[in-house]
A and B are shown apart, each in its own frame.
Chain A
Amino acid sequence: MTSGDQLSFSGRLQAVLSWPVALLFRVLDLPFRWIQRVGGIRSMPWVFLAPNLAFFGLFVVIPLFINFAYSFTGGAELFPGDRIYTGTEQYGILFDCGSYIDPTTCRQDRFWKGIYNTAFFVFFQVVFLVLFSLITALILNRKIRARGFFRAVFFFPVLLSPVVVALIWKWILLRDGILNAFLVSMGFDKILFFVSPEWAMFWAIFVSIWAHMGFYTLILLAGLQAIPPDLYEAAEMDGTRRERVFWRITMPLLWPNMLVVVVLALVKGVQIFDEVYVLTGGGPGTATQFIVQYIYNTGFTNQIKNFGLASAASVVLGVVLFILTMLQLAATRRRDDG
């Protein structure tokens, strides 16, 4: 087969494959021309944004307002019209504490336990997630053997559903799981990982890092690859030490990506639920019960579903996330201004 034949074949293939797209464009051409004629060229961005805005409004903004309204109501009825206005009573119940440091003195002790557990989880998860992602990205940015393979390996867990991730690790960590079998074969005793609060929290953090690290590594890797190589070449010619290159060239230029990683990890960390819920069920006791699980239990798993209290807790969580986002914006702005 000649190269000319190949070209014509691929050209034909391309034509066949692009045919539906071409047809779609033809169908859309008329109405879009009409919209542009009626609304003018300035209206076109809004036309293209409209589907996304409608989706966002329907599934994010409207539920946000409904949730806010529910937090001022009580009772167990589901529909807004059947609910009783209670003012700020649900917030009063959440914040009714003898001492905020000791959850056992609070009326909603599990809410505060959830807050403290979430804070602990987020702190360690974010620190180690960013650290490991950075190290991995730095290694994968080098010209090592089978680099593509390792990139795929690190990214693979991101593709798995959180429930699958949690179930895999649960099977590994159970009393008769692979890890305990390995420990026994090495002459150690079995460890009941899900009975010890410390181990349960450790594995919650570990599994979360394992599952998400690939995504953040990818962001940092993109940042590393965007750094012009001539800067490194110049530093090498100057005989600059490796550590100095890292702190003076790599880190400052990687900072925008780092910021994205930190903020995304923080927000995702605060929202942690599915993986840990399947892995530990929030136990032992309430050792790994996070704020989202408290909201879920209060609103959905109890026999009497307290939507008002669950909504109030959601609003508190929303405020925390809002503050984190503002901090991110402030940090980005300061950097851009500076």
Chain B
Amino acid sequence: MTRNTARVLGASALSLVLLAGNALAQTELVMTWYNDGNESEVMQSLLDRFHEANPDITVNLNIVPYKAILEGLPVQLAAGQGPDIARVTDLGGLSQYYLDLTPHLADAGYWTSNFGPFLKWLDPQGEAISGFMTQLTVTGPYVNRTLFEQAEVDMPGEGATWEEWAEASRAVAEKLDIPIPMAWDRSGHRVSGPAISEGAKMFTDDGKPALVDDGLKAMATMLYDWHQDGTMAKELWGSVSGSTYLGANEEFANAQVVMYMSGSWQIPQFAETIGDAFDWWAVPAPCGPSACTGMPGGAALVAMKDTAHPEEVAKVMDFLAQEENLAEFYGKNLFIPGHLGLAQNGIAFATDDERAGHALETFAGAVPTISPIAYDLQGYKYNRVMFNALISRLGEAIVGELTLDQAFERMTQDVEQQIAEQERDGN
């Protein structure tokens, strides 16, 4: 072997050792994420910044459809094959898979003082710190104010009921030949706020789920009637089965809907897709005899207990949860903050769109008016069982497969049967 060959071989061996050492020191984490708009871009920039400060930890942002978060992720987690971190909306339902970050956090007090009320949504039973809200949401309606002006119909004022809004929307649609006077997301969560306004209690006095009562019946009957008289289009609620989610955001953005019941998470999307094409305007939650409430909710970024790297996961979560990072995330994405300090001090939202600003103000202003029942329902571990029973059976009644009474009976049975199945395991 010549001296040169020996040198080359030596250098190669050294490079290999160094590369292997580097590879061994690298920790790769997976964050499963879904997008309402394009918030993954802001998250990616934060993660890049984290990587610069912590070159030994790489977080791979795995973007999946929202359906995969609802249906695929729970199975993955049950099989122990889940990601290290995930963005979820079934906050309490997946709590058994969350990692308690407390022992790994430098300042757990920061978390409890800034995320306190929402931590209970993630862990209804205990005191664990598992994540933070990437956005706080409030359900509520948007109207196409331009259509109201063109039709010369007055918009109902604050305190107006759902019936008054339905009548006004119908009047606008009739005058301007708009195909859909009113549309609601096909979601039990969206119906629950108005049902509580109509007097639904959702739980018995001892905290057991009791979906069907006079309040819920009143709201469900209204929705049923609106589908029969054309106030709402059957395409949305009647065209799919079970608990399938369908939104009318595209129809609203195309000015085919006068009033659209959805929630605050639509703001960035409407700001981008509608812009100033027409006046899209968030209005306060219409009232019923018991309240004028929407439903709180949101998405949380949570750490998963099956991770092989709890320390590193905690490091990422702690970085992302810092006030300046969250301020950037909420501000750029036009999200209502789920951080008490930021909520109190205010956020510089990255928009000069008057409509988006007004919508953010309206939804943030609605937070104090949210009914305590709505908070309880949002924090209830099996709330999706209730939401799904409500939407799937009401959908079957709307297309004529069940009478309303049969639908109410089935809703109760569905909730009882599913919770009984879960309780077999002693959970």
Report A's interface with B, CB cutoff 8 A. Answer: 74-78, 82, 84, 86, 104, 107, 109, 175, 192, 194-195, 197, 200, 280-289, 293, 297, 300-306, 308-309
Query: Which residues 70-114 in B have Cβ within 8 Å of A in the complex?
Result: 70-71, 74-75, 78-79, 90, 93
Contact A104 B406 (CB under 8 A): yes
- Is B244 engaged at the interface, CB distance under 8 Å to the other chain? yes
Cα of A76 to Cα of B70 in the assembled complex, Å: 16
Measured between beta carbons, the chain A residues less than 8 angstroms from B385 are 302-304
The residue from A77, A283, A304 contacting B240, defined by CB atoms under 8 A apart: A283
- Is B61 engaged at the interface, CB distance under 8 Å to the other chain? no
Contact A300 B71 (CB under 8 A): yes
Contact B238 A285 (CB under 8 A): yes
Whether A285 contacts B388 in the complex (CB less than 8 A), given A74-B424, A75-B422, A76-B425, comes out as no
Query: Which residues 413-427 in B have Cβ within 8 Å of A in the complex?
Result: 413, 418-419, 421-422, 424-425, 427
Of the 9-residue stretches B23-31, B260-268, B327-335, B392-400, which lies at the interface with chain A?
A: B392-400
Measured between beta carbons, the chain A residues less than 8 angstroms from B398 are 285
- Among residues of A, the one whose C-beta sits closest to the C-beta of B254 is A176
Contacts A/B (CB < 8 Å), 17 sampled: A109-B410, A192-B234, A280-B239, A282-B240, A282-B242, A284-B241, A285-B241, A285-B396, A286-B401, A289-B242, A297-B242, A302-B388, A303-B382, A303-B388, A304-B421, A305-B78, A309-B421
Whether A84 contacts B425 in the complex (CB less than 8 A), given A301-B71, A302-B388, comes out as yes
Q: Which 3 residue pairs are nearest across A and B when measured between Cβ atoms?
A: A282-B241, A281-B240, A303-B384
Measured between beta carbons, the chain A residues less than 8 angstroms from B401 are 285-287
Secondary structure at the A interface, as helix, strand, loop or mixed, is: loop
The residue from B75, B238, B388 contacting A283, defined by CB atoms under 8 A apart: B238
Q: How many Å from the CB of B390 to the closest CB on chain A?
A: 13
- Is B187 engaged at the interface, CB distance under 8 Å to the other chain? no
Cα of A29 to Cα of B123 in the assembled complex, Å: 62
Cα of A283 to Cα of B238 in the assembled complex, Å: 7
Q: 14 additional contacts, CB 8 Å, given A76-B425, A301-B243?
A: A76-B421, A78-B75, A194-B240, A282-B241, A283-B238, A284-B241, A285-B399, A285-B401, A297-B242, A301-B71, A301-B242, A303-B93, A303-B385, A304-B419
Q: How many Å from the CB of A306 to the closest CB on chain B?
A: 5
- Is B402 engaged at the interface, CB distance under 8 Å to the other chain? yes
Q: Mark B229-269, 1 if CB is under 8 A from A, else 0.
A: 00000110011111110000000000000000000000000
Cα of A286 to Cα of B407 in the assembled complex, Å: 13
Measured between beta carbons, the chain A residues less than 8 angstroms from B410 are 109
Measured between beta carbons, the chain B residues less than 8 angstroms from A74 are 421, 424
Measured between beta carbons, the chain A residues less than 8 angstroms from B242 are 281-282, 286, 289, 297, 301
Cα of A286 to Cα of B400 in the assembled complex, Å: 10
The residue from A75, A104, A280, A281 contacting B425, defined by CB atoms under 8 A apart: A75
Measured between beta carbons, the chain B residues less than 8 angstroms from A78 are 75, 78-79
Cα of A181 to Cα of B130 in the assembled complex, Å: 51
Contact A75 B424 (CB under 8 A): yes
- Among residues of A, the one whose C-beta sits closest to the C-beta of B400 is A285
Measured between beta carbons, the chain A residues less than 8 angstroms from B395 are 283, 285
Q: How many Å from the CB of B304 to the closest CB on chain A?
A: 15
Contact B240 A104 (CB under 8 A): no
Q: How many Å from the CB of A193 to the closest CB on chain B?
A: 9
Contact B239 A195 (CB under 8 A): yes
Report B's interface with A, CB cutoff 8 A. Answer: 70-71, 74-75, 78-79, 90, 93, 234-235, 238-244, 382, 384-385, 388, 395-396, 398-402, 406, 410, 413, 418-419, 421-422, 424-425, 427
The residue from B70, B399, B425 contacting A284, defined by CB atoms under 8 A apart: B399
Cα of A282 to Cα of B75 in the assembled complex, Å: 22
The residue from B71, B239, B413, B419 contacting A281, defined by CB atoms under 8 A apart: B239
Contact A283 B424 (CB under 8 A): no
Measured between beta carbons, the chain B residues less than 8 angstroms from A282 are 240-242, 244
Contact A195 B427 (CB under 8 A): no
Cα of A302 to Cα of B415 in the assembled complex, Å: 11
Contact B425 A82 (CB under 8 A): yes
Contact B234 A300 (CB under 8 A): no
Count chain B CB atoms within 10 A of each CB in A194, A285, A287 and give the residue with the most: A285
Whether A303 contacts B90 in the complex (CB less than 8 A), given A175-B235, A281-B239, comes out as yes
Whether A84 contacts B238 in the complex (CB less than 8 A), given A302-B388, A304-B418, comes out as no
Cα of A86 to Cα of B425 in the assembled complex, Å: 12
Q: How many Å from the CB of B124 to the closest CB on chain A?
A: 14
Measured between beta carbons, the chain B residues less than 8 angstroms from A82 are 425
Cα of A86 to Cα of B420 in the assembled complex, Å: 13
- Among residues of A, the one whose C-beta sits closest to the C-beta of B424 is A75
- Among residues of B, the one whose C-beta sits closest to the C-beta of A74 is B424
Cα of A77 to Cα of B239 in the assembled complex, Å: 33
- Among residues of A, the one whose C-beta sits closest to the C-beta of B395 is A285
Measured between beta carbons, the chain A residues less than 8 angstroms from B422 are 75-76, 304
Q: How many Å from the CB of A99 to the closest CB on chain B?
A: 15
Contact B424 A84 (CB under 8 A): yes
Measured between beta carbons, the chain B residues less than 8 angstroms from A309 are 421
The residue from A195, A287, A301 contacting B235, defined by CB atoms under 8 A apart: A195
Q: How many Å from the CB of B103 to the closest CB on chain A?
A: 26
Q: How many Å from the CB of A321 to the closest CB on chain B?
A: 23
Q: How many Å from the CB of B257 to the closest CB on chain A?
A: 13
Measured between beta carbons, the chain A residues less than 8 angstroms from B238 are 195, 283-285
Measured between beta carbons, the chain A residues less than 8 angstroms from B241 are 280-289, 293
Cα of A235 to Cα of B386 in the assembled complex, Å: 70
Q: How many Å from the CB of B82 to the closest CB on chain A?
A: 12
Cα of A284 to Cα of B402 in the assembled complex, Å: 12
Contact B402 A104 (CB under 8 A): yes
Count chain B CB atoms within 10 A of each CB in A76, A104, A175, A309 and give the residue with the most: A76
Measured between beta carbons, the chain A residues less than 8 angstroms from B90 are 303
Q: How many Å from the CB of B246 to the closest CB on chain A?
A: 8
Contact A194 B388 (CB under 8 A): no
Measured between beta carbons, the chain A residues less than 8 angstroms from B424 are 74-76, 84, 86
